[in-house]
A = this chain, B = another copy of it.
Amino acid sequence: MQQQKLATIEDVAAIAGVSIATVSRAINEPTKVADATRRRVNEAVARTGYTTNAMARSLRMRRSNMILILAPDVGDPNFSNILVGLETEASKRGYGVLIGNTQNDPERESDYLRFINSNQADGLILFTGHLPYGVGAGEEGGTRLPPMVAVNEPVTNSAVPYVGVDNFEGARIAAEHLISQGHRRIAFIGHSTTKAVNGLREQGYRAALAGAGLSIDPRLILDGDGTTESGRAATEQMFVRDVLPTAFLCVNDATALGVIISLNARKYDLPREFSVMGFDDISFASFVTPSLTTMKQPRLKIGEEAMDLLLALLAGEQPARTEVLLRSELIVRNSVSRAARE
């Protein structure tokens, strides 16, 4: 009683006076069917309100037109915007997106693989930075990975195609911006040996300084894991050591926020006394005081490109490149001013 028995392809066939095979063809390969018949079929479809049953179709075709998105944290500010891009492109191409929030729990990761195994999803988008636990287990011989594309973070030690921002280039542009404002003592907050993203951004920072003929003071490079708290802690540490920069280049906006909070608490007048830059342009970057000058990640584009690449993979194409790097954009706000001192 819930649904009044939807029309099937047989109903349509009966009304149009053709076989179900012809109906199927009229819908999926219209050119393969005579004009007159096609019209009759279309009319019958309209009359019955027929839509093809996706389950039956998937069963037969062994593909679901679904993409599984695996993310460790759906709340991540980077996530939602990339998701919009992913979803937009997917739906434009007739695909649906399934989302799995793994919280980095191996069990949940492997649990979600059932979607792949049972053909409920044709491909995978990975936000996690690593292969889901349980995938590629028996991959000694030929890799038997499902089609997938990494996003946000590349998958370590693997050939999984990745689309993301050019972190090196972006950080270089950021550092050059600070240099162009007369800063010569620029700190980098967010050194990390484990996070690939942090490493690349630090490289960009170093390249910019080297390019400007500035020497790198190792005391101005501080550890950080990308959290607001790490930015705060690093700043406090600088004051303890009393080795101060004129500008802070932070590995991301969250870190920059920590720096700003710390400096505000110390009653410094920003950006007059210290300049701060972030990276990402997450939503609150424009709301902080002072509003944050940062590098904007083209998240929508990242999502679209990633989905596009995945669908190409699904279509059997070999990816042209295993890494697609998009350019970030300098967003000038109020957290950077000309260096007031050496």
Chain B residues within 8 Å of A287, by CB: 228, 257, 261, 284, 287-288
Chain B residues within 8 Å of A97, by CB: 98-99
Chain B residues within 8 Å of A119, by CB: 53-55
* Interchain nearest-CB distance for A20 vs B (Å): 16
Is residue A17 within 8 Å, beta carbon to beta carbon, of the partner chain? no
* Interchain nearest-CB distance for A235 vs B (Å): 15
Q: Which of A94-149 contact B (CB under 8 A)?
A: 96-101, 108, 111, 114-115, 117-120, 144, 146-147
Chain B residues within 8 Å of A81, by CB: 75
* Interchain nearest-CB distance for A107 vs B (Å): 11
Decide if A115 touches B96 in the complex (CB within 8 Å).
yes
Is residue A318 within 8 Å, beta carbon to beta carbon, of the partner chain? no
Decide if B79 touches A101 in the complex (CB within 8 Å).
no
* Interchain nearest-CB distance for A133 vs B (Å): 15
Is residue A56 within 8 Å, beta carbon to beta carbon, of the partner chain? yes
Provide the A178-222 mask, 1 if CB < 8 A to any CB of B, else 0.
Answer: 000000000000000000000000000000000000000000000
Copies of this chain, complex-wide, total: 2
Chain B residues within 8 Å of A115, by CB: 54, 96
Complex: A120 Cα to B111 Cα, angstroms: 20
Decide if A98 touches B101 in the complex (CB within 8 Å).
no
Provide the A25-69 mask, 1 if CB < 8 A to any CB of B, else 0.
Answer: 000000000000000000000000001111110110000101000
Count, chain A residues at interface, CB 8 A: 51
Q: Which residue of B lies closest to A314 (CB)?
A: B2
Is residue A322 within 8 Å, beta carbon to beta carbon, of the partner chain? no
Which A residues contact B (CB, under 8 angstroms)? 2-4, 6, 51-56, 58-59, 64, 66, 74-75, 77, 79-81, 83-84, 87-88, 91, 96-101, 108, 111, 114-115, 117-120, 144, 146-147, 228, 257, 261, 264, 283-284, 287-289
18 sample A-B contacts, Cβ–Cβ < 8 Å, listed by A number: A6-B117, A52-B118, A55-B59, A55-B64, A66-B98, A74-B84, A75-B80, A77-B283, A84-B101, A87-B99, A88-B101, A96-B98, A96-B115, A96-B120, A98-B98, A284-B287, A287-B287, A289-B289
Given contacts A3-B144, A264-B289, A284-B284, 16 further A-B contacts (CB under 8 A): A6-B117, A52-B118, A54-B118, A54-B119, A59-B59, A75-B81, A75-B283, A84-B101, A87-B100, A88-B101, A91-B101, A96-B98, A96-B115, A228-B287, A257-B287, A287-B287
